[in-house]
């Protein structure tokens, strides 16, 4: 009977050691994964930075579109004036 109770005690000790070992292995694995994720995602902007950059970008895009529209009107105005001058001076357009 003592052999059986000692075997049970040894089995409990082995089980306890395995649990501790697995917990430590899992903790090390978790830390390693967290380090790798921090490396990968650490370079990415946070939400506030991202939306700040997007605001700047959208303002620039709006300004470019407005400038493009205004330039189009100027170009049309210049074309009309050149055509009128060509008609008055008798110069032919190419």
Per-residue pLDDT of the chain (94 residues; tens, 9 = 90+): 567 788 888 888 888 888 888 888 889 999 999 999 888 888 888 899 999 999 999 999 999 999 998 888 888 888 889 888 888 888 866 5
The reply to whether 28 and 57 lie within a common domain is: no
The reply to whether 51 and 39 lie within a common domain is: no
The reply to whether 28 and 50 lie within a common domain is: no
How many domains does the chain divide into?
2
- Cβ-based neighbours of 86, under 8 Å, separated by 6 or more: 92, 93
The reply to whether 19 and 4 lie within a common domain is: yes
* Integer-rounded Cα radius of gyration of the chain: 38
The reply to whether 50 and 93 lie within a common domain is: yes
In which domain, by residue range, is 54 found?
Answer: 46-94
The reply to whether 52 and 94 lie within a common domain is: yes
Query: What is the pLDDT at residue 17?
Result: 87
Q: How far apart are CA 53 and CA 14, in angstroms?
A: 57
Phi then psi dihedrals of residue 42, to 5 deg: -65, -25
Query: What is the pLDDT at residue 2?
Result: 63
The reply to whether 71 and 37 lie within a common domain is: no
Query: What is the pLDDT at residue 43?
Result: 82
């Amino acid at each position: 009977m003592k052999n059986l109770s000692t075997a049970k005690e040894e089995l409990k000790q082995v089980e306890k050691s395995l649990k501790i070992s697995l917990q430590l292995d899992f903790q090390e694995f978790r830390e390693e994964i967290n380090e790798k994720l921090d490396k990968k995602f650490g370079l990415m902007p946070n939400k506030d930075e991202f939306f700040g950059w997007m605001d700047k970008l959208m303002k620039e895009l709006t300004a470019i579109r407005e400038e493009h529209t205004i330039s189009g009107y100027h170009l049309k105005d210049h074309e009309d004036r050149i055509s009128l001058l060509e008609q008055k001076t008798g110069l032919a357009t190419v």
